[in-house]
Structure formats: C-alpha cells, structure tokens
C-alpha cells in the first residue's frame, strides 16, 4: 500500500531516492501514475513528463516505523499481523504491505467480505490508498491484492480452494519473484501463471532455480509458509468490537468488565491464572494505547482484575473514540481449583488464603508503578547480610523456599554497628555492652555460632575477613540483641524484638 500525500495544489507526487549517484522515483501516487510515471524512472525524465511534479525524499527508516505502527493497529482485526517482508518497502514499485491471518476472526465483523471492506474503508479514511485480498494462502492473497484489484474494486475475496483459478491470468511477477526472473519468463512467452502451472518442476528448476517452483507450491497451499507476527500472540486473549466508538471512562470500564469475565472463563477452562495482563484499545484515528499490569500470584478472579485497572483507566486518552478493546494474559501459570475460605455469613463469597495480601500487593503495584513494590527472596549465602535479596514483588517464577535454621533477628541492620563490650573470658559472651551511648547488662546469652567468610568466592572485599562468633543476648529489661565478635572487636547486627 502507498500513502497519498496531500499537497496544497494536489499536484502529482513522487518519493525519490538516490540510485547509483542519481535521483530516481521510488514511489508515485495515483495522479503521477496516470500521467505516465512509474517507480524506477529517473527524476529528470519524470520532470520532463510532469513539470509540476511534487517530490519528497524517501526515508526508509521512518517508513518502516510507520508501517510497523500500522501493522500494530491492524491488531483490531486479528492478533496475528506482520509487516510483509516480500516488497522490501516502497522502493519495489508494488507498495509496502501488511500480512494478516484472520482465521477465526471474520465472524466478529460479519464475514470475510465485510472484514475486508471495513479494513479498506478505514485505511482510506486515514489517507492510504489500499489494495487488499483475502485467500487461503499468503502467496495467493499477495498476488490478488497487487494484480487482481484496481481503483474501482480495491479488494477481493478469493473463494476457498480457488487460488489456482484466481491466479491463472496474472503475470509471473505476482509470484513474488525477483524482477530478473519475472522478466525472463515474460521474454520466454510465459506471461501468465496458468502457463507455468502445467509445467513440471524438473523443467523449471534448471532454468529458474528452486524459487519459482517453491512460490507456485506456496501459492497453491502445497508448501508451508510461516507468518511471524509482529508481537508474540498470547494464547489467552479476549476481544470486544464496539458497536459505536466510546470516549468516557465509564464506558471503558464497562468494556473492561466484559473482557475480564471472558478472559477468566478461558483461564478457568485451561486451569491457569494470569500473572501479566495487557489491555489494548484501538482508536478510530488509527493509533492504539496499551496498559500492562502484573499480579503477585496467578489469578482468574474478574473482580480482582478489574480493580487493578480501575485506577489507571483515566490515563488512556480515547482521542476521537475507541472502537476495539482486547485483554490478554501473555504470562500465566498453572492454577487448579483451590480450597476457599468462607467469607462473612450472608455474603455468598469466599476467598483463598493469602488473597488479601496478594490483592494489596497488586493494588500497590498498580498505583505506584512497575518495580516499586519489592519482596525478599532467599539467596544462597550463609552470611546474614547476603542471605536475602530484594526483587520486584511481581517478578515471574516461584521464589525458593526459606530454609529453616538457627533463629535470626526480625530486624537485621544493613551494616553491623560497632559496640563496646566486656566479656569475662575471650570465648565467652559479653557481660555488658554499650550501644549508641546506652549501657546494657547481659542477663542471658546463647552462643557462639561461628560463621566464616565465603572464601570460595572471588571477592577481594571478603577475602581477608575474619570469622564471626555470634551470640543471642538479653539485657536486664528483656530486650534481645544479636552480637558478634570478629578480630577482637564487637558488633551489633540485629534486634530480635
């Protein structure tokens, strides 16, 4: 497809690029084509034919980004959309293309013809000149869109199993062949695909190589052809096509309610729970907006999912209106039927043990932003200050279980604080110590627990560190402390209560 740039005086328009040190036409609009201009023509020759020709420089990188955005917008019809790699942009003379796999999606738009007509009409309103076709195979749809449509009939639906008949009168260039191969076929008198269909592959391959036979088999559906989507297609997705564009948060919330209920039904059918959610809205101006959220544990409770999005729907700018909404679970985990704890009498509702905390974490994450809520996960180290690490609360995966061992203080200092202590004997616990200018007399003590440095790690900061002898002590007023002796000095590392 090509874009028709609007100029003030609506002059014929062409995109130009450098070809071997001289400027040539890369793409032309309908007015320039009607005046006799074609891609590949030198710019000087084009100006000789059309003196009032308006031009602009071809910018492939910007065109590629715009085409990717347009392919993403086509997700309103199907999650399986991709930029067509066959044309290599606008410079090939056949327009840039987008491939859509609409298997199972046509019924949402009233059938295949209605879907195709809606697509062409909407892209036309956005300022694009479009040719589209729908067929059983990528090759047949590509050929029909570019060689079996015109301005009067910009789209075509190839009947099921009708690819051979539809492509028979088309030129060999419709098979996505290199220009040199298509030109050679023309010179040999094979000007129609129908003439090639009757020739055996062993006749074609010695002269034209294996590509011609492969393209024929792909067009007929006899050889596989993979369509890689622009983004990975989530297996669990709910879609809602709105009868009229919506612009209010209330209408958006109603659409989300229906999507959440449908998505949770699909999750329940496969015994899974969502860990990541993506709400995508498609606007009438050809753009889209996404909201992504995570959950601290697998969930398929519609009310819970709706509450996560409730405070963020206002951030979505509806523009001139939203016409399609999707809710996907790109990340999910196994979630079987679990025992529920009955709620208050008369409510008729239940909850899973731990759901209150999980729901609080999810709401805080949604309100504060991704990565702002952290959790402590165990880490393989026997040094107390390294035995746990902070990770995002919604990080995927199940954290490793905490190992049971000797008691550890509820509050562990990030850095142990030096104290003044007196022990009766070198290996005994302290009899008294002074911490933060306050003296404490020890009435009970337990220890020592010796912890040696991790000598097997290549860490110069701990290579020469002395062993630590830890003691749990209690002072005269009942406060308990965790102290250790290392290298003849005493340190306070944590508090038990």
> For the domain bounded by 237-363, which CATH number is listed?
3.30.1490.100
Q: In sequence order, what are the residues at sequence separation of 6 or more whose Cβ sits closer than 8 angstroms to the Cβ of residue 124?
A: 130
pLDDT at 94: 61
Beta bridge partners, 442, equal 475
Give the pTM. 0.63
CATH architecture of the domain covering 2-58: 3-Layer(aba) Sandwich (3.40)
String of DSSP letters for 83-130: E-SSS-SGGGSS---EEE--TTTGGGGTSHHHHHHHHHHHHHHTTEE-
pLDDT at 418: 94
* Residue located via tokens 């911490």: 435
pLDDT at 442: 95
**The token pair that represents 213 in the structure block:** 């036979």
Given a contact cutoff of 8 angstroms between Cβ atoms, the answer to whether 412 and 483 are in contact is no
Tell me how far apart the alpha carbons of residues 265 and 316 are, in angstroms, rounded to a whole number.
26
pLDDT at 9: 52
Q: In sequence order, what are the residues at sequence separation of 6 or more whose Cβ sits closer than 8 angstroms to the Cβ of residue 143?
A: 133, 167, 170, 174, 175, 176, 193, 219
Extended strands (E) in 284-358:
288-299, 322-334, 341-342, 350-351
Tell me how far apart the alpha carbons of residues 424 and 204 are, in angstroms, rounded to a whole number.
99
Neighbour tally for 497: CB within 10 Å: 10
**The token pair that represents 132 in the structure block:** 């589209």
Extended strands (E) in 308-408:
322-334, 341-342, 350-351, 374-378, 388-392
Domain boundaries of the chain, sorted by first residue: 2-58, 61-220, 237-363, 411-495
Q: State which residues of the chain have pLDDT below 50.
A: 1-8, 88-92, 339-351, 353
Tell me how far apart the alpha carbons of residues 262 and 226 are, in angstroms, rounded to a whole number.
29
Beta bridge partners, 484, equal 470, 491
pLDDT at 115: 93
pLDDT at 264: 93
Strands 155-157 and 132-134: parallel
């Amino acid at each position: 497809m090509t874009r028709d740039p609007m100029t003030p005086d609506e002059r014929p328009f062409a995109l130009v690029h450098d070809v071997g040190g001289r400027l040539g036409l890369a793409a032309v609009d309908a007015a320039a084509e009607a005046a006799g201009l074609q891609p590949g023509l030198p710019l000087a020759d084009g100006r000789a034919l059309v003196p009032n020709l308006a031009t602009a420089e071809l910018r492939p990188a910007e065109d590629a980004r715009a085409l990717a955005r347009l392919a993403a917008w086509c997700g309103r019809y199907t999650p399986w959309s991709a930029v067509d790699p066959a044309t290599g942009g606008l410079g090939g003379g056949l327009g840039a293309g987008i491939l859509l796999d609409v298997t199972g999606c046509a019924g949402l738009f009233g059938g295949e013809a209605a879907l195709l007509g809606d697509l062409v009409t909407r892209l036309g309103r956005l300022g694009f000149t479009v040719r589209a076709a729908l067929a059983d195979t990528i090759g047949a749809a590509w050929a029909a869109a570019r060689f079996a449509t015109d301005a009067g009939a910009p789209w075509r639906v190839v009947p099921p199993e009708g690819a051979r008949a539809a492509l028979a009168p088309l030129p060999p260039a419709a098979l996505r062949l290199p220009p040199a191969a298509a030109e050679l076929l023309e010179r040999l008198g094979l000007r129609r695909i129908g003439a090639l269909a009757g020739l055996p592959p062993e006749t074609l391959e010695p002269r034209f190589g294996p590509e011609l036979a492969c393209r024929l088999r792909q067009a007929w559906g006899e050889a596989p052809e993979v369509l890689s989507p622009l983004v990975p297609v989530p297996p669990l997705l709910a879609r809602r096509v709105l009868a009229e564009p919506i612009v209010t948060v209330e209408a958006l919330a109603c659409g989300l309610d229906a999507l959440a209920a449908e998505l949770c039904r699909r999750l329940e059918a496969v015994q899974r729970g969502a860990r990541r959610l993506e709400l995508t809205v498609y606007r009438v101006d050809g753009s889209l907006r996404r909201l992504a959220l995570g959950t601290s544990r697998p969930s398929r409770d519609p009310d819970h999912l709706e509450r996560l999005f409730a405070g963020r729907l206002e951030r979505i700018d509806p523009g001139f209106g939203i016409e399609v909404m999707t809710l996907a679970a790109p990340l999910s985990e196994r979630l079987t039927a679990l025992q529920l704890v009955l709620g208050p009498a008369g409510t008729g509702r239940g909850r899973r043990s731990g759901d209150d905390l999980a729901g609080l974490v999810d709401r805080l994450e949604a309100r504060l932003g991704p990565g702002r809520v952290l959790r402590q996960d165990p880490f393989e180290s026997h040094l107390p200050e390294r035995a746990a690490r902070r990770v995002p609360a919604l990080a995927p995966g199940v954290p490793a279980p905490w190992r049971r061992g000797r008691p550890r203080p509820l509050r562990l200092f990030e850095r142990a604080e030096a104290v003044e202590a007196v022990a009766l004997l070198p290996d005994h616990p302290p009899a008294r110590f002074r911490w933060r200018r306050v003296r404490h007399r020890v009435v009970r003590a337990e220890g020592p627990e010796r912890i040696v440095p991790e000598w097997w790690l290549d860490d110069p900061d701990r290579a020469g560190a002395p062993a630590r002898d830890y003691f749990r002590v209690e002072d005269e007023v009942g406060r308990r402390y965790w102290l250790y002796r290392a290298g003849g000095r005493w340190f306070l590392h944590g508090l038990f209560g």
